[in-house]
């Protein structure tokens, strides 16, 4: 593959030399002075211009406020330094809106050269459409650095369509100082978790931060409750339409537990109007004691709060159902895929693997994620919270990817809409279970 890549670069340099020699220059040639950008309005044209440069466009959700943003920037800088003549324009989008944008881009055949996506059911329609490049041939030179198991969620019908970089999992982040000041201990089961919430409420402190506007944040809690109530096998069977109905007592019990938290006032007033960034800021500022989200928050904790040492993490507790405390939501699903119709597929595929490898390294060193790639570098600087999460991952009995990723797009959209209705009190747990069962039986 390296030979193919070098040959390609040689070819475009020869073409560039001829173009310069003739003194011609196309009016459509794109100049890319600022080749790395987080500006959403950056020109998305992919080009091989008259100076011999190849420009690749990369889409991701690593906005400036995202914990992965520095890792992407450093990975892109490394790739460009190692590959003269290849430039990457990085365009970023907010998580919730990106899910719509990427689906629209697939439908309109307007994908960038490389794009971030989630494995599992979320990306299956993209692969089925034929718009995503198979990557098996390109993976050959990286097999010793990236375990096959990390690619489970980006294989479809036996072919590899994406490359992952971290193994995220969801957990409960908490303000250690607030716990100590209020005589609260870290809970180890659901009853203790409820008591923690009641204690904070009795002291006038909002227990848990959440955004009910960005519905995936509600799912971070509800997914965990369903997993711990029904167990990983039953969840997978229901959400992948494999003989298990969602209208089941274990699924209903999970939704009842979310309502239990809402009804006791565990969440901030106005949560339906808060974005994830706004809700997270309340946690960093010490306005709420806990926040349930993905392991990427460990990286943000190192930069956003005034005193990062005040924070820590614990696993989402068991709820007395079929799932264990060591059954985790998450797994390697954050991925880069390549546009099968792009003009520079070989370079784009090479870049996808090299970027994923570097993002894995830098995100781990920054504390934003647990590395999916081989750690063959000094990681002594990794923050204690990320190391604790890596330890949790090493002891996991199972990983179940986020439900809005595991399910196919239409089912996931309905799930998130129903969760918001449940949060607002517009539907009951029983009605949610029935509606989801109907959705999944279509």
Q: How would you class 429 by CB atoms within 10 Å of its CB: exposed for 0-12, middle for 13-18, buried for 19 or more?
A: middle
| Pair 268, 279: CB distance under 8 Å | yes
Q: What is the pLDDT of residues 286-297, one digit of tens each?
A: 999 999 999 989
Query: What sign results for the dihedral spanned by CA atoms 98, 100, 103, 104?
Result: negative
Q: Who wins on pLDDT, 162 or 397?
A: 162
Burial 82-93 (b: 16+ CB within 10 A, else e): ebebbbbbbbbb
Q: How would you class 408 by CB atoms within 10 Å of its CB: exposed for 0-12, middle for 13-18, buried for 19 or more?
A: middle
| Pair 180, 186: CB distance under 8 Å | no
Quick one: DSSP state of residue 212? S
**Which residues does 301 contact at the CB level (< 8 Å), separation at least 6?**
173, 284, 308, 311, 367, 383, 385
Q: Who wins on pLDDT, 11 or 211?
A: 211
Average pLDDT, whole number, for the chain?
Answer: 88
Q: How confident is the model at residue 15 (pLDDT cuts 50, 70, 90)?
A: very low
Indicate if the pLDDT at residue 5 is higher than 50.
Answer: no
Q: What is the pLDDT of residues 158-179, one digit of tens each?
A: 999 999 999 889 999 999 999 9
Q: What is the pLDDT of residues 61-97, one digit of tens each?
A: 999 988 899 999 999 999 999 999 999 999 999 988 9
Scan for tokens 């808060």, then name that residue.
Answer: 274
Q: How confident is the model at residue 409 (pLDDT cuts 50, 70, 90)?
A: confident
pLDDT at 148: 83
Q: What is the pLDDT of residues 35-46, one digit of tens each?
A: 334 333 333 444
Q: Which helix (H) or strand (E) holds 114?
A: strand 114-118
């Amino acid at each position: 593959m390296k030979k193919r890549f070098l040959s390609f670069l040689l070819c475009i340099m020869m073409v560039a030399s001829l173009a310069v020699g003739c003194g011609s220059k196309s009016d459509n040639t794109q100049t890319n002075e600022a080749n790395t950008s987080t500006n959403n309005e950056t020109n998305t044209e992919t080009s091989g211009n008259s100076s011999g440069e190849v420009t690749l466009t990369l889409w991701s959700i690593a906005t400036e406020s995202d914990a992965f943003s520095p890792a992407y920037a450093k990975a892109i800088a490394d790739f460009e330094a190692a590959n003269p003549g290849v430039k990457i324009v990085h365009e970023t989008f907010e998580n919730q809106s990106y899910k719509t944008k990427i689906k629209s881009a697939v439908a309109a055949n307007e994908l960038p050269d490389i794009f971030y996506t989630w494995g599992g059911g979320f990306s299956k329609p993209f692969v089925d459409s034929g718009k995503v490049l198979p990557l098996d041939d390109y993976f050959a030179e990286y097999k010793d650095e990236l375990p096959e198991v990390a690619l489970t969620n980006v294989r479809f019908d036996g072919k590899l369509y994406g490359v992952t970089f971290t193994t995220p999992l969801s957990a409960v982040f908490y303000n250690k100082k607030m716990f100590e000041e209020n005589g609260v201990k870290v809970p180890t089961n659901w009853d203790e978790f409820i008591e923690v919430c009641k204690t904070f409420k009795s002291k006038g402190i909002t227990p848990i931060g959440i955004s009910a506007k960005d519905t995936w944040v509600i799912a971070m809690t509800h997914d965990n409750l369903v997993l711990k109530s029904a167990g990983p096998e039953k969840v997978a069977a229901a959400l992948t339409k494999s003989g298990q109905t969602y209208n089941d007592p274990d699924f209903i019990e999970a939704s009842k537990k979310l309502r239990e938290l809402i009804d006791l006032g565990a969440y901030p007033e106005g949560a339906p109007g808060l974005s994830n960034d706004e809700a997270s800021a309340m946690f960093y500022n010490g306005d709420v004691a806990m926040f349930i989200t993905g392991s990427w928050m460990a990286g943000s904790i190192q930069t956003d709060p005034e005193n990062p040492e005040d924070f820590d993490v614990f696993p989402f507790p068991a709820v007395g159902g079929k799932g264990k405390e060591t059954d985790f939501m998450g797994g390697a699903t954050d991925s880069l895929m390549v546009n099968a119709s792009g003009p520079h597929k070989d370079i784009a595929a090479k870049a996808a693997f090299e970027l994923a490898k570097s993002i894995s390294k830098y995100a781990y060193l920054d504390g934003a994620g647990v590395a999916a790639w081989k750690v063959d570098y000094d990681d002594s600087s990794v923050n204690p919270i990320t190391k604790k999460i890596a330890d949790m991952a090493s002891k996991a009995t199972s990983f179940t990817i986020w439900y809005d990723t595991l399910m196919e797009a239409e089912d996931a959209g309905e799930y998130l809409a129903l969760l918001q209705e449940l949060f607002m009190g517009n539907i009951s747990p029983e009605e949610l279970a029935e509606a989801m069962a109907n959705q999944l039986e279509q």
